[in-house]
Structures are given as C-alpha cells and as structure tokens.
Amino acid sequence: MKLLLLGLGNPGEKFSDTRHNIGHNFVDYIANRYNAPFHNSDGFSISKLRLSSTDTMLLKSLNFMNLNGSGLTNLLNKHLLSADTFMLVHDEVNLPFGRAKLSQNKSAGGHNGVRSVIENLGYSPLRLRIGVDSPALTVSTLSKYVLSKFSNDEQDALIYLFPKLLHSLKLLITRGISFASNYTNRYPIPDPSC
C-alpha cells in the first residue's frame, strides 16, 4: 500500500500559519520530521518518504485553495494504484480547536478547497479534518477568520497535536481506518505513547 496525503492550503508566505493552511502545516511537519524536502512537479509541491515501512507522498497544490483539486486527477492516475490510499488533510471550522476526525464520504461542507477536490475527482476521499473552531461568525467574517494567523498559544498547542495526528496516519497504515478513527476521533486524542 502507498499513502498519498494532500494538505490543503494557499501558497505563499502570506498564508503560512493561518487556520486555512493547517493542511499545509501538517504535511510540512511530517516532511521536516523525516527530512524529506519538497520539489515542484505537475502543479504540486511533492515530498516522498517512508512512513511505517510504507511509501508515502506528501502533496501541496501550487494553486490557491479554491483550485487545490486542479490537476489532481492526472497526478493520482500517475502515482495511485487501486490498493493505495489517498487522503486530504484540511481545516475544519465545525470542530473545536484541538479536535480532529477521520471521515469518509462526507460533503464539502462549505469548504472550497474540499469542494475543488471532490469536483475534480468525482468522489469524496478519506479526510483528516483538523478543528480550527469557529466563533459565531457571519459568512464574510468567517472567511477573514480562517485566513487569520494562529495565536501563540494555538501554535504551541499544535506542537503537541501534530505528533498525535502523525500517529493516526501510522495507525491507518498498520491497523486500518476503523482502528485509526477510534484513536483520532477521541478527545482529547491520547498521547501516542499511551
């Protein structure tokens, strides 16, 4: 089995460390941890590494969020076999900060990056949804909120969350979706050493 993980986000330094870019941040975290630099090809930044003895490809679209699915079908046709797993990782305003969920066959739920992927693929893939919270906001202020930077306290909290989400990916590879979901969807997510 091979794992392909697309972290949703916007390109450029302006958007780094914003709530909407948590998908980019998470795949960057994995790439840095495994010393696996990104290179650009076919409209994506791509990093390759071995995760739990499994070939893993980390992806970030070079397009803005609303077009994150553009070119994805061609890329997956080139790299994904029927036994392989493709997954999205993205921000989720309908989950409190610090929570995460593995989900399958869900609608885009108003997330334009997810909608772009679903429209390009023709189906809703496996998703790791990372909560960024959403105070009672209107549609216009919600768009500003997801493009705002994480606070220092939130940045510190992500340092502890990301290793747990990486463990979730390892469980997905070694134990399957049901076992990984049982771990990931709990709150608080247990420490990987427990």
Enumerate the active-site residues.
Answer: 20
Give the dihedral of Cα atoms 160, 164, 167, 168; nearest 10 deg. Answer: -150
Q: 104: closest CA among 77, 127, 129?
A: 127
Cα separation, 188 vs 97, in Å, equals 11
Question: Quick count: other Cβ atoms within 10 Å of Cβ 84?
Answer: 15
**Length of the chain in terms of residues written:** 194
Q: 29: closest CA among 117, 181, 180, 158?
A: 158
Give the dihedral of Cα atoms 132, 138, 144, 148; nearest 10 deg. Answer: -30
Q: 59: closest CA among 49, 1, 189?
A: 49
Cα separation, 115 vs 153, in Å, equals 30
